[in-house]
């Protein structure tokens, strides 16, 4: 279920240039698609194609890549990165950067682990512990964002400071305490809870009807205006694609079997998709989201329009902190503990790369939440596939780097084409 | 000028200094409903500072601002907007990555519990644009980046007008435009005046000023030089006033005349 609600927001597609009116029917659809390709208006297409190629390639070469168990593994590995990447999208939309999220995720995991610790005297219910941890991470975002927005220190510097500080805090605590084991079942559920088969199907059904319903809702609410105009064939195709993805995902998950326990749809994926819908709504349907795009496009224009630019900046860094916290909890849940090795791998850089591969501009104002999900899926699949091929970590980094470079180069060309064709 | 209406906006004895630099000294300025008032002067004459005092970006050190005869205090852009004063800036305060509708409503989106009402915004945008006879924009859902300079300026002006504004201030509206686009924007400026708004146009280009303005206020070195009626004056007079005009008010000496009104 890659993009359950990718266009729930106002339709931003520019009209065809002068004198281009498409005939109805399939012929018109192809003409439109071809025009979009020629003018560099690719949308998420390249990354979906890339994902298909990567999956096909590993499916053919690695023996244990194309298994249901590995598929569930992949989801559980990637969920946390995707959560962090969501926050990165908002920060990049402002044209800022948040380098601290890797270790803020670590703080989230640490807080949650500490608060659930049995016999510590401050043991809390797991859900409460998670809420407090996420709030703490949003608080970190509040402090860092305030320094950026009100004092005017560049975000690169502030969050680089945060990177070091939170790393230091984690080191101090964990060097003393060693690994903290997480026993609370609610916390461990975030990554590892598996839905029963029929619940999985039900969830797939809900996500499948969500997109057509959102389009229908928009068409009714905004009757007679341009945003309500939809190419119903495209909508039908997208809806079908989402349905296939959703039911396909559940089908594969349900099929898997680890030793004796049957597998199913992991909660982690549901969380990630729910946040995708929620954050897409926030970005595209609310005044706050509109202001984020405006500040990223032109902070001066936003300021003159009466938007409080510092307020938007602070809120965005709070979102970034909160999503990092949630991602951190998911990562901790994956291994039922917090250890000195946290955050795993290149978490920060993977999250930023996910958003950038997903087409979010580093210069602000351009990009969508779905980019983070697709980018994280591509990077996750790539790294997972290379792992199953027993490729060394060095090569995994090199390949990830090349894909990042390729994606951004392609995007740069696309933007140039768009400019040339005046769209 | 024959109209005896109270000025929509009247500034009296406005002074403003930045450190030791006196940007404005006892400047008077007014604009009446339905008239286009040009504000001209050389670089550094204080045009922009005066505008910023009206728009709330700067606060005047001393002096009085009257709006529809009432004494008002403008402490920020919001205050100005609430009175019905809108400024269209030279460097176009539009966000390139947003479309026409989104820019028109930037900062004042129609919403229910923070959720955008796109349909209402789109509708109001198209009525506003057509009431101003802005017809060259093909789709109001295209991003502003794809518009020509004249179209962008039209959007900026339309945005200023949409909010039941009474005074619209245009800062160099034609500075970056070609001939045809300039005509397009000047026609729009005249239409604003015809609709009963008070319009202030700041320009270096006397051709533009004589094309649109009813009266012309000349500033020089932060002081008033005079207010001229467009129909009874010549470009030559205005040029002289801009480059060598004598201030009408000198501190210590009571103001002599409302020169040549």
The answer to whether the beta carbons of residues B157 and B186 sit under 8 Å apart is no
Tell which of A278, A294, A302, A421 to mutate to test the B interface (max B CBs under 10 Å).
A294
CA distance A273 to A207: 9
Instruction: Output the pLDDT for position B257.
Output: 44
Domain boundaries defined on chain A: 45-193+266-420
- Tell me: pLDDT of A38 over 70: no
Report the gap between the CA of B109 and the closest CA in chain A (Å).
7
Query: Given this model, what pLDDT does residue B103 score?
Result: 93
Contact residues on chain A for B112, CB-CB shorter than 8 A: none
Kindly tell me if the per-residue pLDDT of A275 is higher than 90.
yes
Q: What is the pLDDT of residue B203?
A: 87
* B140 contact residues in A (CB cutoff 8 A): 226
Domain A45-193+266-420 falls in which CATH fold? ABC transporter involved in vitamin B12 uptake, BtuC (1.10.3470)
pLDDT value at residue A13: 40
Is the Cβ pair A306, B107 closer than 8 Å?
yes
Torsion of Cα atoms, A223 then A226 then A230 then A231, to 10°: 140
Residues with Cβ within 8 Å of B232's Cβ and at least 6 positions away in sequence, in order, are B260
Q: What is the pLDDT of residues B230-242, one digit of tens each?
A: 989 888 889 888 8
Separation between Cα atoms, residue B121 and residue B128, nearest integer Å:
10
Extract the tokens encoding B258: 């409302």
Q: Which residues of B touch A290 (CB under 8 A)?
A: 98, 102, 106, 109, 116
Which whole-number Å values give the CA distances from A93 to A5, A90, A294, in the listed order?
Answer: 19, 5, 9
Residue recorded with tokens 């800062």: B171
Which of B98, B138, B140, B169 to substitute to test the interface with A, most A CBs within 10 Å?
B98
pLDDT of residue A254: 85
CB atoms within 10 A of CB B97: 23
Residue B142 contacts A where some CB pair is shorter than 8 Å: yes
CB A135 within 8 A of CB A323: no
Q: Taking the CB of residue A198, how many other CB atoms lie within 10 A of it? A: 10
Residue written as tokens 């205090």?
B73
Query: pLDDT at position A8, please?
Result: 35
ipTM: 0.81
What pLDDT, on a 0 to 100 scale, did the predictor assign at position B261? 41
3-state SS, residue B22: strand
Contact B222, B25 (CB under 8 A): yes
Q: Cβ(B68)–Cβ(B10) under 8 Å?
A: no
Give the list of residues 6+ apart from residue B98 with CB closer than 8 angstroms, or none: A290, A293, A294, A297, B106, B143, B144
- The pLDDT, as a whole number, for residue B251 is 54
Q: List pLDDT tens digits, range A291-331.
A: 999 999 999 899 888 899 999 999 999 999 999 999 999 99
Nearest one of B34, B28, B24 to B1, comparing CA atoms: B34
B110 touches chain A (CB under 8 A): no
Of chain A, the percentage scoring pLDDT greater than 70 comes to 87
Q: Compute the nearest-CA separation of B153 from chain A (Å).
A: 14
For residue A9, the model assigns a pLDDT of 36
Chain A closest CA to B254's CA: distance in Å? 38
- Using the CB atoms, write b or e for B180-202: b if 16+ within 10 Å: ebbebbbebbbbbbeeebbbbbb
Class of domain B9-96+164-244: alpha beta
Q: Is the pTM of this model over 0.90?
A: no
Cβ–Cβ gap A306/B81 under 8 Å: yes
The sign of the CA dihedral B44, B47, B49, B52 is negative
Question: What pLDDT digit, counting tens, does each position of A362-420 carry?
Answer: 888 999 999 999 999 999 999 999 988 888 989 988 998 999 898 888 888 877 877 76
Q: Do B85 and B200 form a contact (C-beta atoms < 8 A)?
A: no
Instruction: Give the residue ranges of chain B where pLDDT is below 50.
Output: 1-3, 254-261
DSSP state of B246: P
CA-based nearest residue in chain A for residue B115: A286
pLDDT in tens, B103-162: 999 988 998 899 888 888 998 999 888 888 887 888 888 888 888 888 888 898 888 888
């Amino acid at each position: 279920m890659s993009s359950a609600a990718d266009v729930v927001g106002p339709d931003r597609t520019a009209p065809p240039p002068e004198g281009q009116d498409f005939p109805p029917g399939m012929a018109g659809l192809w003409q439109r698609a071809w025009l979009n390709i020629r003018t560099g208006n690719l949308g998420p297409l390249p990354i979906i194609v890339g994902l298909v190629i990567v999956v096909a390639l590993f499916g053919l070469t690695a023996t244990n890549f194309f298994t249901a168990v590995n598929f569930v593994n992949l989801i559980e590995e990637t969920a946390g990165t995707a959560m962090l990447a969501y926050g990165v999208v908002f920060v990049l939309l402002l044209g800022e950067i948040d380098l601290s999220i890797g270790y803020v995720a670590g703080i989230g995991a640490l807080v949650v682990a500490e608060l659930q610790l049995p016999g510590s005297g401050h043991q809390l219910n797991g859900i409460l512990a998670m809420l407090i941890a996420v709030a703490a991470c949003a608080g970190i975002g509040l402090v860092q964002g305030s320094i950026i927005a009100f004092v005017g220190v560049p975000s690169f510097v502030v969050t680089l400071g945060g990177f070091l500080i939170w790393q230091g805090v984690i080191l101090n605590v964990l060097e003393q305490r060693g690994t903290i084991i997480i026993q609370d079942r609610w916390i461990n559920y975030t990554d590892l809870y598996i839905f029963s088969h029929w619940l999985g199907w039900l969830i797939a059904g809900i996500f499948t009807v969500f997109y057509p319903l959102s389009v229908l809702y928009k068409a009714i609410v905004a009757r007679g205006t341009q945003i309500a105009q939809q190419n119903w064939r495209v909508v039908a195709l997208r809806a079908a694609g989402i349905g296939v993805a959703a039911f396909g995902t559940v089908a594969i998950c349900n099929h898997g079997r680890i030793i004796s326990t049957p597998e199913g749809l992991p909660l982690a994926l549901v969380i990630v998709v729910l946040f995708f819908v929620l954050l897409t709504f926030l970005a595209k349907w609310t005044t706050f989201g509109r202001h984020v795009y405006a500040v990223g496009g032109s902070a001066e224009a936003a300021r003159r329009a009466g938007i409080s630019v510092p307020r938007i900046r602070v809120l965005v860094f709070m979102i970034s902190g909160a999503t990092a916290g949630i991602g951190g909890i998911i990562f901790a849940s994956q291994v039922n503990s917090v250890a000195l090795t946290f955050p795993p791998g290149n978490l920060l850089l993977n999250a930023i790369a996910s958003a950038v591969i997903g087409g979010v501009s580093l210069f602000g104002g351009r990009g969508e939440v779905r980019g983070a999900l697709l980018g994280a899926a591509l990077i996750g699949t790539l790294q997972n596939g290379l792992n199953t091929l027993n490729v060394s970590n060095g090569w995994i980094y090199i390949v990830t780097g090349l894909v990042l470079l390729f994606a951004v180069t392609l995007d740069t060309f696309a933007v140039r084409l768009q400019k040339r064709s005046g769209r | 000028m024959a109209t005896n209406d109270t000025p929509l906006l009247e500034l009296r004895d406005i002074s403003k200094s930045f450190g030791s630099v006196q940007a404005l000294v006892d400047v008077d300025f007014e604009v009446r409903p339905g008239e286009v008032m040009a504000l001209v002067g050389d670089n550094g004459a204080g045009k922009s500072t005066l505008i910023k005092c009206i728009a709330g970006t700067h606060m005047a050190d001393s002096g009085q601002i009257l709006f529809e005869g009432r004494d008002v205090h403008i402490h920020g852009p919001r205050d100005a907007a609430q009175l019905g004063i809108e400024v269209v800036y030279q460097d176009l305060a539009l966000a390139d990555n947003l479309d026409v509708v989104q820019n028109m409503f930037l900062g004042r989106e129609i919403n229910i519990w923070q959720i955008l009402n796109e349909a209402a915004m789109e509708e109001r945008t198209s009525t506003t644009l057509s009431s101003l006879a802005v017809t060259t924009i093909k789709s109001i859902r295209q991003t502003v980046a794809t518009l020509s300079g004249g179209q962008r300026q039209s959007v900026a002006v339309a945005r200023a007008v949409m909010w039941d504004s009474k005074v619209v201030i245009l800062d160099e509206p034609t500075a970056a435009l070609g001939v045809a686009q300039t005509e397009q924007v000047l026609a729009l400026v005249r239409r604003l005046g015809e609709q009963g708004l008070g319009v202030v146009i700041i320009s270096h280009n006397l051709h533009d000023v004589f094309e649109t303005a009813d009266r012309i206020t000349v500033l020089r070195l932060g002081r008033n030089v005079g207010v001229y009626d467009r129909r009874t004056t010549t470009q030559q007079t205005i040029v002289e006033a801009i480059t060598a005009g004598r201030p009408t008010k000198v501190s210590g000496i009571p103001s002599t005349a409302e020169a040549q009104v």
